[in-house]
Amino acid sequence: MYQHTQQFLELAVAVQALRFGEFTLKSGRQSPYFFNAGQFSSGVALHQLCSCYRQALKHADLPFDMLFGPAYKGIPLAASLASEYAQPRVDDPARDLPWAYNRKEIKDHGEGGKLVGAPLAGKVVIIDDVVSAGTSAREAIQMIQTAGAQPAALLVALDREERGQGELSAKQELAKEGIPVISIARLQDLIGFLGQTKNLQQYQQAMLDYQTIWSAS
């Protein structure tokens, strides 16, 4: 497991962004865990989260020019990651990255329009909290392409590695369309993390059972 993956999972449990039990997802599936990125709700937690995003993106070694955050959770993530990149690291020089986001509804006054921030241009990384069905990612991809820019990748904190309506996961479907999905952690990382964390080992079997039922081909 990568160091940034371990750090992310420890942080997610500490701020209760990752919880374990019995949860009904939007899809109707009964899940033994729930991930809520809204729990990274302090300056320190958000900074640490974006440090993990930065490390995941660096490890992917993917060229990109700017960041895009889909409304709503992607907005603070894109802003915070752009701010994180403004600071130099020993293994990663500072970059002044442009970033943008979209509104859910088109504004018909003031500056108007649906897009806010830097003009979409070059290779654009879409940043979000999780990839499930890939719906918000596809909406972002369409906006970026319409603007004449190129979607470079989808960057998420957690890849649930679940199949959608078919046998493939959203990650696999997007990869077939030429859009790589980069994640700080995957479901299999989370399962391994539970097995090595004494006070969380009790949840590992339920996670393995869930993976057996819903994992993608």
80: closest CA among 49, 59, 120, 104?
49
pLDDT above 80: residue 113? no
**Helix/strand/coil for 91:** coil
Identify the three-state secondary structure at position 176.
helix
pLDDT greater than 60 at residue 89? yes
Q: What is the 3-state secondary structure (H, E, C) of 56-82?
A: HHHHHCCCCCEEEECCCCHHHHHHHHH
What is the average per-residue pLDDT within 148-163?
94
Catalytic sites, residue numbers: 107, 109
Which domains, and CATH codes, for the chain? 3-214 (3.40.50.2020)
Residue 109 has pLDDT above 60, yes or no: no
Ranges 7-21, 90-104, 118-132, most confident: 7-21
| Predicted pLDDT of residue 46 | 97
- The predicted structure's pLDDT at residue 103: 85
- Residue 107 reports pLDDT greater than 70: no
Beta strands in the chain (DSSP E): 18-24, 30-35, 66-69, 99-107, 113-117, 123-131, 150-159, 181-186
In this prediction, residue 195 has a pLDDT band, given cuts at 50, 70 and 90, of very high
Maximum average pLDDT range among 26-40, 81-95, 158-172:
81-95
More confident residue, 171 or 118: 118
Convert the pLDDT of each residue in 56-69 to its tens digit.
999 999 999 999 99
Which uninterrupted H or E stretch holds 88?
none
Question: What confidence score (pLDDT) does residue 173 get?
Answer: 87
| Cα gap 169→62, rounded to integer Å | 22
The pLDDT score that the predictor gives to residue 53 is 98
Instruction: Give me the sign of the Cα torsion angle 130, 131, 136, 137.
Output: positive
Q: Confidence class of residue 106 from pLDDT cuts 50, 70 and 90?
A: low
